[in-house]
Amino acid sequence: MDDPPAQALRRKRDSSMHAAVDLVKQGVAQAAISAGNTGAWMAISTFMLRTIPGIDRPAICAPLPNQRGGATYMLDLGANVDCKPQHLYQFALMGSALVASVEHLQTPAVGLLNIGEEEIKGNDTVKEAAVLLRAAHERGEIRFFGNVEGNDIFKGTVDVVVCDGFVGNVALKTSEGLAQMLGRSLKAEFERNLFTRVGALFALPAINGFRRRYDHRRYNGACLLGLNGLVVKSHGSADVYAFGRALDRAHDAVEAGVVAAIALRIAHHAAGSVPVRAVA
């Protein structure tokens, strides 16, 4: 886990990661899953499978539970710390294609994560990305909702939330930590004394439903989008149940033809078709 990605890529050609991705490249396997080093997994997968024409960088995408009873898909979750506006535009196309395929939504709503809904807010990268996304909306490539804030992720305001990998990874790890804290707090509170234990018996169905709904293990398994093959990243601390969910994620993505759907969308709407220099 401590190996630098470059070392894992160049010096460990017989690793299990290489072997798994090679099976996908040969067409023997339809997907590969790993709970190992994220950087190594991304480097090996990108080197061996290459990106789809029109995609500059692959992005990690995973669903997060929302208040509407469904899931909000978010990308990038850590593959790209520094992004340019056209990368965020490409992420929006890929995320929209994924949700359209897996969730069977014809026109998923896409939001750009920002510090406010107003167009004047955000850094230059986010502002320029918003210009590209609004232009894509006008051309009918995607349904761009506009800027969204962090609380919109769990409200279910949009189907897809786009951000750079630094922000996305922080949001993901924060939500996982919060879910774990709530679970432990509920358990401790109901074990505190006899009265809370009795009360817990009556509330148990609702409590168990809540814990299942927001159990971060249910949402384990993030697809690395933009490659000529399907690879999925599992959390390194995943237990049997969580890793099983990652397997389910890979299976659903294969059944939905996610890789082909992204390639088709990119072919129809070439990434970077709106030049960044046109941004005021």
pTM over cut 0.75: yes
In the chain the first and final C-alpha atoms are separated, in Å, by 44
Confidence of residue 13 (pLDDT cuts 50, 70, 90): confident
Q: How does the average pLDDT of the chain come out, rounded? A: 86
**Residue 217 pLDDT more than 90?**
no
Confidence of residue 142 (pLDDT cuts 50, 70, 90): very high
- C-alpha atoms less than 13 angstroms from C-alpha of 157 in its C-beta half-sphere: 18
User: What local confidence, expressed as pLDDT, does residue 276 receive?
Assistant: 34
User: What local confidence, expressed as pLDDT, does residue 216 receive?
Assistant: 75
User: What local confidence, expressed as pLDDT, does residue 279 receive?
Assistant: 33
Name the least confident of 29-43, 92-106, 176-190. 176-190
**Residue 268 pLDDT more than 90?**
no
Confidence of residue 60 (pLDDT cuts 50, 70, 90): very high
The count of other CB atoms within 10 Å of the CB of residue 251 is 14
**Residue 194 pLDDT more than 50?**
yes
**Residue 198 pLDDT more than 80?**
no
Confidence of residue 270 (pLDDT cuts 50, 70, 90): low
Tokens of 109: 């709503």
**Residue 169 pLDDT more than 80?**
yes
**Residue 191 pLDDT more than 90?**
no
Note the pLDDT tens digit of each residue in 95-130.
999 999 999 998 999 999 999 999 899 999 999 999
Q: What's the rounded Cα separation, in Å, for the pair 60 and 49?
A: 15
CB proximity list for 195: less than 8 A, separation 6 or greater: none
Over residues 75-85, mean pLDDT: 93
The count of other CB atoms within 10 Å of the CB of residue 65 is 20
Q: Which one is predicted more confidently, 185 or 159?
A: 159
Q: Set out the domains of the chain in order of their start, with CATH numbers.
A: 30-275 (3.40.718.10)
Name the least confident of 59-68, 140-149, 210-219, 234-243. 210-219
User: What local confidence, expressed as pLDDT, does residue 173 receive?
Assistant: 85
User: What local confidence, expressed as pLDDT, does residue 224 receive?
Assistant: 95
User: What local confidence, expressed as pLDDT, does residue 271 receive?
Assistant: 42
**Residue 275 pLDDT more than 80?**
no
Q: What's the rounded Cα separation, in Å, for the pair 234 and 38?
A: 9
**Residue 91 pLDDT more than 70?**
yes
Over residues 213-228, mean pLDDT: 86
Question: Dihedral through CA 24, CA 25, CA 27, CA 30, nearest 10?
Answer: 30
Identify the residue whose tokens are 């899931």: 71
Question: CA of 159: how far to CAs of 10, 106, 188, 255, in Å?
Answer: 38, 11, 34, 20
User: What local confidence, expressed as pLDDT, does residue 277 receive?
Assistant: 33
CB proximity list for 10: less than 8 A, separation 6 or greater: none
Q: What's the rounded Cα separation, in Å, for the pair 46 and 79?
A: 11
User: What local confidence, expressed as pLDDT, does residue 215 receive?
Assistant: 76
User: What local confidence, expressed as pLDDT, does residue 199 receive?
Assistant: 58
Q: Which one is predicted more confidently, 10 or 61?
A: 61
* Secondary structure letter of residue 216 according to DSSP: G
